[in-house]
């Protein structure tokens, strides 16, 4: 099954803006290409040809850049100044749920090896879970969202509820149409992590899939690490 995918690129990227003034976060160059191009490249490893991309109203440069770089992808571009990360996730989820039974959503700053994205998609599909979170043991985040995974592969606790603290979420999500249909109203959660923590607490079947090293490109110092990471991936 070829996935429909979504990319959330609506954040302000205020910390990265310090090092690249005047450039919106999705368009910040890394190893010679805009960040958003790397994200689409990774998702395309699954064979996807349909992608919903959410930017804020200052991200006008994103759509023509992606359309030119990936002429084979059918893009659905949406511009909206959302009030929270959860509202962004909800908007993209509902848009994808109108077209597909299951889909993936990535944040625009989650650098994940393409083979790992394929692995995540297959694991979530085969598990028949309601939703899924990609996890990594590589922790390089000021405020990581910790996750505990039970023996059956489902996430048992998140955030402050986590006790093992040996894995964190890394910006790649799996959702089904049924799960999207039960998303609460946008003002319910101020942050996306609050939604996922509440969902796990409710007893929902949320699959946790361990990946290798991933990177969250969120701070100026992350740019150098990202270039090194991408260079290493190219040589594998």
pLDDT at residue 13, rounded to an integer? 62
Q: Does domain 4-234 have CATH number 3.40.50.300?
A: no
Per-residue pLDDT of the chain (236 residues; tens, 9 = 90+): 789 999 999 976 666 766 677 789 999 999 999 999 999 999 999 999 999 999 999 999 999 999 999 999 999 999 999 999 999 999 999 999 999 999 999 999 999 999 999 999 999 999 999 999 999 998 777 789 999 999 999 999 999 999 988 899 999 999 999 999 999 999 999 999 999 999 999 999 999 999 998 988 888 888 888 888 887 776 55
pLDDT at residue 57, rounded to an integer? 95
Say how far apart CA 225 and CA 217 lie, in whole Å: 9
**Tokens 């598990």 appear where?**
127
pLDDT at residue 235, rounded to an integer? 52
Q: 7-19: buried (b, 16+ CB within 10 Å) or exposed (e) per residue?
A: bbbbbebeebeee
Tokens of residue 182, six digits: 């039960």
pLDDT at residue 211, rounded to an integer? 96
Q: What angle do CA 231, 234, 236 make, to 5 degrees?
A: 115
Say how far apart CA 37 and CA 219 lie, in whole Å: 18
Domain residue ranges of the chain, discontinuous segments joined by +: 4-234
Closest CA to 167 of 126, 210, 133: 210
Taken in order 227, 228, 233, 236, the sign of the CA dihedral is: positive
Collect contacts of 178-185 with beta carbons under 8 A, ≥24 apart: 178/130, 179/130, 179/131, 179/204, 180/93, 180/94, 180/96, 180/97, 181/97, 183/90, 183/93, 183/94
H/E run at residue 231: helix 222-234
Alpha-carbon distances, residue 149 vs 58, 93, 114, 152, 158 (angstroms): 38, 24, 23, 8, 9
Tokens of residue 116, six digits: 């790992």
> Over the Cα atoms of the chain, what is R_g?
16
Closest CA to 26 of 43, 44, 41, 39: 39
Class of residue 182 by CB neighbours under 10 A (exposed 0-12, middle 13-18, buried 19+): exposed
């Amino acid at each position: 099954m070829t996935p429909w995918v979504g990319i959330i690129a609506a954040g302000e990227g205020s910390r990265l803006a310090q090092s690249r003034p005047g450039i919106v976060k999705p368009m910040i160059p890394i190893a010679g290409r805009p960040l958003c191009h790397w994200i689409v490249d990774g998702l395309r490893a699954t064979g996807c040809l349909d992608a919903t991309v959410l930017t804020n109203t200052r991200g006008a440069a994103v759509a023509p850049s992606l359309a030119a770089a990936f002429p084979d992808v059918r893009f659905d571009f949406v511009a909206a100044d959302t009030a929270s990360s959860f509202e962004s996730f909800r908007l993209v989820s509902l848009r994808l749920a109108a077209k597909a039974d299951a889909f993936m959503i990535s944040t625009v700053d989650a650098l994940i090896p393409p083979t790992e994205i394929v692995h995540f998609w297959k694991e979530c599909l085969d598990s028949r879970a309601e939703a899924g979170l990609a996890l990594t043991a590589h922790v390089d985040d000021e405020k990581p969202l910790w996750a505990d995974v039970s023996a059956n592969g489902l996430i048992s606790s998140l955030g402050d509820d986590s006790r093992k603290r040996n894995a964190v979420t890394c910006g790649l999500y799996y959702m089904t149409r049924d799960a999207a249909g039960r998303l609460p109203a946008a003002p319910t959660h101020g942050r996306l992590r609050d939604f996922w923590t509440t969902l796990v607490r409710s007893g929902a079947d949320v699959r946790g899939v361990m990946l290798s090293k991933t990177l969250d490109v969120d701070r100026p110092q992350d740019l150098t690490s990202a270039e090194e990471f991408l260079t290493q991936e190219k040589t594998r």
